[in-house]
Amino acid sequence: MQITSILAIYFLFWVFSAFLMLPFGVRTAEEAGEPLVPGQAESAPVNFNPRRLAARATVVAAVLTTLFVVNYEQGWVTMADLDFLPKPPSVLND
């Protein structure tokens, strides 16, 4: 596998994991016991930290990319393993 492919897969895993972890660890003003700023939505986060989110996404993406590349090299799960649908009737008659 080429390094550019690995980097592209890492980027996809990074974006996916960043969006997946966005709601975790974030509290609203009501949960934090702080007053709302005039015009602030009640669901707006009080303690959003993009550096922590990026660090978590980096670690998760690195682990997922490593597992993906090792699976690609070792062949643990292949497309044949994921082919669980029955064959079309025209293929069965051959």
> Which of 15-19, 24-28, 47-51 has the highest mean predicted lDDT (pLDDT)?
15-19
| Domain coverage including residue 78 | 3-92
Instruction: Report the predicted TM-score, pTM, of the whole model to 2 decimal places.
Output: 0.78
Phi-psi region of 73 (alpha: psi -120 to 50; beta: other; left: phi over 0): alpha
- Which of 19, 28, 13, 10 is closest to 53 using CA atoms? 19
For residue range 59-83, list pLDDT tens digits in order.
Answer: 999 999 999 999 999 999 988 888 8
Domains in the chain: how many in total?
1
